[in-house]
Structure 1
Amino acid sequence: MKQATLEDAARLVRDGQTVTIGGTLSQRIPAAMVRELARAGVKGLHLIKPSPGFDADVLAAAGALASVRAGMTTLEQPFGMAPSFRRAAEAGEVKVIENACPAVMASLQAAAFGLPFQAVAGLDGSEVPEISEFARVKDPFTGDDVWVVPAVRPDWAILHVHEADLRGNARIYGTPVWDRLMSRAAKRVILTAEKIMPTEHFVAQPELTVVSELFVEAVVHAPMGAWPTAVYPDYDIDEAAMRRYLQLSRTPEGFRQYLDDTAAQDHARIEAAA
């Protein structure tokens, strides 16, 4: 069995490691785990994700990020930009490796397939390849030059799912976004789950399993573990909580208060479900 507490799972992530985080923008972010990483004081993380949002902002506010490889970073409407991430990027505290979202996906796909790089179309006419130090290689079949991006194999994929068993099999209802790919690209996976289900539940319909136990190191039962972001169809974005986060995260003192306040909420939900 791979059941872990939020604290124990967060301690698996070490300073300087590369992580990829499931969900997108303000949708199905493993927010309880992201907050726990911030509380744990992990530093120097390298985040790769096509479209981070709340996760990148919290980690930037915590001073946990060394670099971000992404196509876009925003909290989406009606919250606008990710302000803590933007401040850290503009201050040079976080290295921003600008990609297009498909380029990030290609880097993860190359890692998942065990390849050193992958070709990407549609980059001609853009400055992104030069900014991100992509390379051109010759297509052996046509002789044309093509852009390629490097494989990036994260140390950890951190994913929030609707259902998991204690062996690490997991289901996501609605779009999985990039979570399936992340679970294959990373060396190991940490899951937080709305519900813990018996293994028989997954055996009954194995085609619905998005993440296999083969990839998973730890499973945390975390009801409302994506709050204040949304988990379709269970709950929507908590706008009031998101705006409170944005207000508090403007200062280091306010951000610390936010982490302290939400610690009680995060752990109370988990304890109530135990």
Structure 2
Amino acid sequence: MAADKTTSMREAIATHVHDGMTVALEGFSHLIPFAAAHEIIRQERRDLTLCRMTPDIVSDQLVAAGCVSKLVASFFASGSAGSLHELRRRIERHDPERLEVEEYSHYGMVCRYQAGAAGLPFFPLRSYAGSDLPKVNPNIRLVEDPFGEGSVYVVPPLNPDVTIIQAQRADRAGNAQIWGISGIQQEAVYAARRAIVVVEEIVDDQVIRSDPSRTLIPSHAVDAVVHCPRGAHPSYAQGYYDRDCGFYRRWTAISKDAQQLQTWLKEWVHDLHDHTEYLEKLGEEYWNDLRVEPRYSDPVNYGSRR
């Protein structure tokens, strides 16, 4: 019988995330592991290298909380809602201190995770031709093509100490299923030394087996499974709740004022025991505008021998 890897968010972070680690929090547009990030803040982790393809609000919060000393990322923006002003203060003015940044393109980050997952020494790509990024990032290198004339850019592998992702559901062994935009979660998990999967619901293994193609993260790659409904808020979980666009718009004003940002972190993270209290503070009526109606895909016939 497969081992039960379910645990609490507090225990998962305490066990697998330590000061000085390289931590990847992935999820593209939806399934962003905000609740996990808030627990990292509560446990006051320090000197982390944060890896994220799109350093959005969750990155702004972790940096403002003093958890992150280096950011490895691409596409610095709060979705379509505005700037990340804590990052801007740290990068543009070193206020209150400098944040070290290692910047790639989106595809450059994808290639780094792919190289890390496959155990490759580097990954080639052509998308840096004409870009200024190689001038500011010495890890983006131009090498001769060993199979032909000319040259090609390469990036090094990315192997986080721990990757944290959010998924829709998993069984207790850690077989996690994702639908909708999948992003780079699978590669980021395989590239990491450890992996925490946070899910909207825990289901029986028969549910997972009934639709195996949705299992992007198999149990052998997972170290901990955390049941945390609505753990991706204010991002969304396809089929469970919608993106909180209002919060994304409000974040610009919150983050623009450094003191207001610290006040927000105290009220919504530090002063709360866990994500359950966060949800209670929001209140059930808050979710009325974020509810989604059922929209099922057509069933698939996998067939079975008689």
Q: TM-score w.r.t. structure 1 length?
A: 0.90
Counterpart Cα distance in 2 of 1:263 and 1:253: 16
The equivalent residue for 1:164 is 170
Counterpart Cα distance in 2 of 1:218 and 1:180: 15
The equivalent residue for 1:106 is 111
> For the pair shown, which has the larger CA radius of gyration, 1 or 2?
2
Alpha-carbon displacement from aligned partner over 1:103-127 (angstroms, at most 9, x marks no partner):
1111111111101111111212211
Q: Does 1:48 align with 2:51?
A: yes
Q: How much identity, in percent, do the aligned residues show?
A: 30
Alpha-carbon displacement from aligned partner over 1:21-59 (angstroms, at most 9, x marks no partner):
12125x221111100001110011112222121221111
1:150 to 153, 156, 166: 156
Moved more, 241-250 or 217-226: 241-250
2:132 to 127, 134, 149: 127
Counterpart Cα distance in 1 of 2:234 and 2:21: 26
Q: Does 1:83 align with 2:85?
A: yes
Gaps of 5+ in 1: none
The equivalent residue for 1:256 is 266
Counterpart Cα distance in 2 of 1:102 and 1:201: 33
CA, structure 1 residues 267+200, in 2 after alignment: closer, same or farther (shift >3 Å)?
Answer: farther
Moved more, 110-119 or 124-133: 124-133
1:20 to 24, 31, 43: 24
CA, structure 1 residues 265+147, in 2 after alignment: closer, same or farther (shift >3 Å)?
Answer: closer
The equivalent residue for 1:215 is 221
The equivalent residue for 1:228 is 234
CA, structure 1 residues 243+256, in 2 after alignment: closer, same or farther (shift >3 Å)?
Answer: farther
SS at match of 2:7: coil
Cα deviation for residue 237 of structure 1 reads 2.2
Q: Does 1:58 align with 2:58?
A: no
The answer to whether the 8 A contact 2:26-2:53 is kept is no
Counterpart Cα distance in 2 of 1:130 and 1:35: 35
Cα deviation for residue 97 of structure 1 reads 1.1
The equivalent residue for 2:37 is 34
The equivalent residue for 1:266 is 276
CA, structure 1 residues 168+55, in 2 after alignment: closer, same or farther (shift >3 Å)?
Answer: same
The answer to whether the 8 A contact 2:53-2:73 is kept is yes
SS at match of 2:35: helix
- Structure 1: which amino acid aligns with 2:90? A
- Structure 2: which amino acid aligns with 1:95? E
The equivalent residue for 1:136 is 142
The equivalent residue for 2:198 is 192
Q: Does 1:4 align with 2:14?
A: no
Counterpart Cα distance in 2 of 1:179 and 1:162: 12
Task: Compute the RMSD of aligned alpha carbons.
Answer: 2.0
- Structure 1: which amino acid aligns with 2:121? P
The equivalent residue for 1:201 is 207
2:73 to 56, 70, 74: 70
Instruction: Give the paired residue count.
Output: 268
CA, structure 1 residues 102+240, in 2 after alignment: closer, same or farther (shift >3 Å)?
Answer: closer
SS at match of 1:191: strand
- Structure 1: which amino acid aligns with 2:71? V
The equivalent residue for 2:289 is none
Counterpart Cα distance in 1 of 2:254 and 2:134: 37
Cα deviation for residue 86 of structure 1 reads 2.1
SS at match of 2:89: helix
Q: TM-score w.r.t. structure 2 length?
A: 0.81
Q: Does 1:116 align with 2:121?
A: yes
Counterpart Cα distance in 2 of 1:204 and 1:227: 28
